[in-house]
Structure formats: C-alpha cells, structure tokens
Amino acid sequence: MHLFIVEGLPVEAELRRKFGPAHTYDFCPAAAPDLHARLGAADVAFDLRSWPELHYEQLRQPVFYDTTARSLAQLFHEEKPPLGPVFGFCGLPTLIDRRLLETSLLYAADADKLAEVCAALGTEFRTVQDRVGLVTPRIICMIINEACYTLQEGTASVRDIDLGMKLGTNYPHGPFEWANAIGLARVYETLECLYQDTHEERYKVCPLLKTMYLRGQQFEV
C-alpha cells in the first residue's frame, strides 16, 4: 500500500516501524503546494494535523485521523459526511508502534472496511469508543498528571517517581520520561480536552504541568 501522511515527520520512524517496509510512504507537509496531487496516489491517508482537514477534499480513500484530542463525532459535527471511510486512531508518539492499532469508528457500518484496511496494513487492531482520549492516551496522560501533582507536593523526585513506576508496573517508561517522549504540549492538550469533555477532576491539568508547558520546558530525567 502507499501511505500518505500529513504532518507525520515527528513520528516517521515510529510509523515505519509499525507498518514495516512492505509499504511505501509519503510524509507530506500541510503547506505543500502539491498536496492534492500527492494525495491522489494514496491507498490510505493519515492526517496528523492539530485540526485535520483532509475530509474537506471529499476523497474516497480510507483516512485515519489522530483522535487523541478530539473525537470523530466532534470533527464531523455539522460537516458534510465523508465520501470514503474514516477512522480514528491513537497517534501520540510512543503509542503508535504497538501490536494493536488503537482505532475508533464514526459509522459502525465501516467496521468491515476497517478490518480490511488493517489487514492490508499488516496490523492487528482494537476498536474502542469514539471518545476524546480513546483509552491508552487517557490512561497515560492521567498517570503523568498524577505524577506531576506528586512532584509539585515535594513527596518524591522525578527520578524516584520514574523508577518506581517502571519497577512497580513494568511500564516501559516512567511518567516524566513518557511526558518528554510524547511532548508536554500533546500531554497538556489531551488532558485539557479530556477535562472539557468529562469535567472530571482527575483530568484537571496540574499547575506544574501547565507552567512547564507554557514555558516550553521538559522534565530533567
């Protein structure tokens, strides 16, 4: 298959690892003047922009949208329905290259098409509810947020919290390592959108995390 990926350079290596060398890839900047021509050659597209716009092209190829910070229902609210099938997926850095591709559906009738496309991509998948944060990003970002509250209170250091998480849960990263790898801006955006969607206190952004995001900082791990 020929994969067309808009604004995917930050996760290029991860996408190539996930889907493998059997496919061809076109990583296209959103501002590329030949975006439409390049899109026409695609078998499947991924739109990783902050506000995905490929649906305005009314293309017929299957399109995956990163629905970490907004659901497909939000994306297509009061919009013309897409001509081709559209799927949500977890596009956060570090959470793409896993055995199961985490996906969601706008229309339940597209479930068979999703299975067909994932088979062609060579990946197993799991369909979850079309909700902000899907499942894994919701859990990971909440863990990062709770770790920030612990750090803010002075209960433990960055190193101790990271080490405790890895030893205690066998996670591949500690919460602060994971926050840096995902990007504090993406973590902050996901938590903000989760809080607006649910108004649950567990998703309310820790002031320390917000301050570091606003300053463009990372954790010293």
pTM of the model: 0.92
What pLDDT is stored for residue 53 in this prediction? 81
SS3 content of the chain, % helix, strand, coil (to 5): 45, 15, 40
Going residue by residue through the chain (221 aa), what tens digit of pLDDT does each one get? 999 999 999 999 999 999 999 999 999 999 999 998 999 999 999 999 888 787 777 778 999 999 999 999 998 998 887 888 999 999 999 999 999 999 999 999 999 999 999 999 999 999 999 999 999 999 999 999 999 999 999 989 999 999 998 888 888 899 999 999 999 999 999 999 999 999 999 999 999 999 999 999 999 98
Q: Would you state the structure tokens that stand for residue 69, as one six-digit string?
A: 């910070």
Q: Would you state the structure tokens that stand for residue 173, as one six-digit string?
A: 């990263």
CATH fold group of domain 2-127: Rossmann fold (3.40.50)
What pLDDT is stored for residue 212 in this prediction? 96
Place of tokens 């493998």: 20
Strand partners, 63: 45, 86
What pLDDT is stored for residue 121 in this prediction? 98
Categorise residue 20: left if φ over 0, alpha if ψ from -120 to 50, beta otherwise.
left
What pLDDT is stored for residue 59 in this prediction? 78
The CB-side HSE value for 207 (13 A sphere, CA atoms) comes to 2
What pLDDT is stored for residue 168 in this prediction? 83
Strand partners, 46: 5, 64
What pLDDT is stored for residue 80 in this prediction? 82
Sequence-ordered list of residues with C-beta below 8 angstroms from that of 216, at least 6 positions apart, any chain = none
Strand partners, 3: 25, 44
- Tell me whether the CATH fold assigned to 2-127 matches the one assigned to 136-215: no
Closest alpha carbon to 107 in 50, 63, 137, 57: 63
What pLDDT is stored for residue 57 in this prediction? 77
Going 210 to 215 to 216 to 218, the CA torsion angle's sign is negative
Q: How far apart are CA 208 and CA 74, in angstroms?
A: 29
Domain ranges in the chain?
2-127, 136-215
Alpha helices, DSSP H, located in the chain: 12-19, 35-39, 72-75, 111-121, 136-152, 158-169, 175-182, 184-198, 207-215
CATH fold group of domain 136-215: N-(1-d-carboxylethyl)-l-norvaline Dehydrogenase; domain 2 (1.10.1040)
What pLDDT is stored for residue 56 in this prediction? 75
Q: Would you state the structure tokens that stand for residue 169, as one six-digit string?
A: 């849960």
Specify the DSSP class assigned to residue 92.
S
